[in-house]
């Protein structure tokens, strides 16, 4: 494996291999653009896939949950498959068979470890918070001792994985190009609407700058 590559025999893209990317820069970029990770793991001889929030700091992904979380207990020091995906558009072909999507996705393999150092634990929670809403962490109350005790933080070192990306037009058969059927793309993106105040919010409290900036970037 090359130093900047996360490719392995297990992560090599076999279906349309030209869409596979293995360099850290491409993989990090997709991880930073997505919000939700799906974690596949084995628990009592049954497979499970559970979605969770995450955040990246350098070559580590941090995830968190309640200390009683079955998933977090099950995956500490055990193999998992973590995947994220972003749908960038619908690809509509002239034939039903060739309809598709434009997307960016990442699949990682590894074994998460428990973050038991209090300072790193709080850092991990900040990384997750900042991944969702940049600068929000500085606007809110920090976790107290009870909350930290009731929360488990794990980290996954990003050492083995692959990205897969599709862009562009539909891949119709040549003989279908003359059909009188519209074909093309419908781009999709996440759009933020105007913020809604908490019903218990005290009066005259303005929307924080982190929220305003987030809405501006995603409008």
Are 62 and 71 contacting, i.e. CB atoms less than 8 angstroms apart? no
Q: Where do the structural domains in the chain lie, given as residue ranges?
A: 17-217
Confidence of residue 27 (pLDDT cuts 50, 70, 90): very high
With 80 as the cut, is the pLDDT of residue 155 above it? yes
186 class by beta-carbon count within 10 Å (0-12 exposed, 13-18 middle, 19+ buried): exposed
Distance CA 105, CA 166 (A): 9
Give pLDDT, residue 4.
87
- In order, the DSSP letters of 5-31 are B---TTT---SSGGGEE-BHHHHHHHH
Query: In this structure, how many other beta carbons lie within 10 angstroms of the beta carbon of residue 34?
Result: 18
Distance CA 108, CA 27 (A): 9
Confidence of residue 158 (pLDDT cuts 50, 70, 90): very high
The tens digit of pLDDT for each residue in 57-106 reads 999 999 999 999 999 999 999 999 999 999 999 999 999 999 999 999 99
Are 155 and 127 contacting, i.e. CB atoms less than 8 angstroms apart? no
Phi, psi of 65 (to 5 degrees): 180, -175
State the average pLDDT for the chain.
96
Distance CA 102, CA 113 (A): 34
With 90 as the cut, is the pLDDT of residue 3 above it? no
Under CATH, which architecture does the 17-217 domain have?
Roll (2.30)
- The DSSP 8-state label assigned to residue 4 in this structure reads T
The tens digit of pLDDT for each residue in 175-215 reads 999 999 999 999 999 999 999 999 999 999 999 999 999 99
Three-state SS annotation for 78-121: CCEEEEEEEEEEEEECCCCCCCEEEEEEEEEEECCEECCCHHHH
């Amino acid at each position: 494996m090359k130093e900047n590559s996360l490719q392995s025999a297990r992560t090599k893209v076999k279906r349309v291999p030209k869409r596979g990317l293995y360099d850290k820069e491409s993989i990090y970029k997709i991880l930073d653009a997505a919000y939700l990770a799906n974690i596949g793991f084995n628990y009592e001889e049954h497979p499970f896939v559970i979605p969770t929030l995450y955040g990246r700091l350098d070559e580590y992904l941090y995830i968190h949950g309640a200390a009683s979380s079955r998933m977090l207990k099950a995956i500490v020091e055990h193999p998992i498959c973590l995947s994220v995906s972003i749908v960038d558009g619908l690809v509509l072909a002239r034939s039903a068979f060739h309809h598709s999507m434009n997307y960016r996705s990442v699949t990682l393999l590894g074994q998460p470890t428990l973050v038991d150092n209090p300072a790193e634990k709080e850092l991990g929670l900040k990384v997750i918070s900042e991944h969702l809403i940049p600068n929000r962490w500085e606007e809110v109350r920090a976790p107290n001792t009870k909350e930290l005790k009731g929360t488990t933080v794990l980290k996954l070192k990003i050492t083995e994985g692959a990205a897969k990306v599709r862009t562009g037009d539909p891949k119709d058969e040549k003989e279908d190009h003359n059909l009188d059927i519209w074909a093309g793309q419908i781009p999709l993106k996440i759009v933020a609407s105007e913020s809604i105040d908490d019903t218990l919010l005290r009066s005259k409290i303005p929307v924080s700058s982190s929220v305003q900036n987030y809405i501006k970037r995603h409008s």
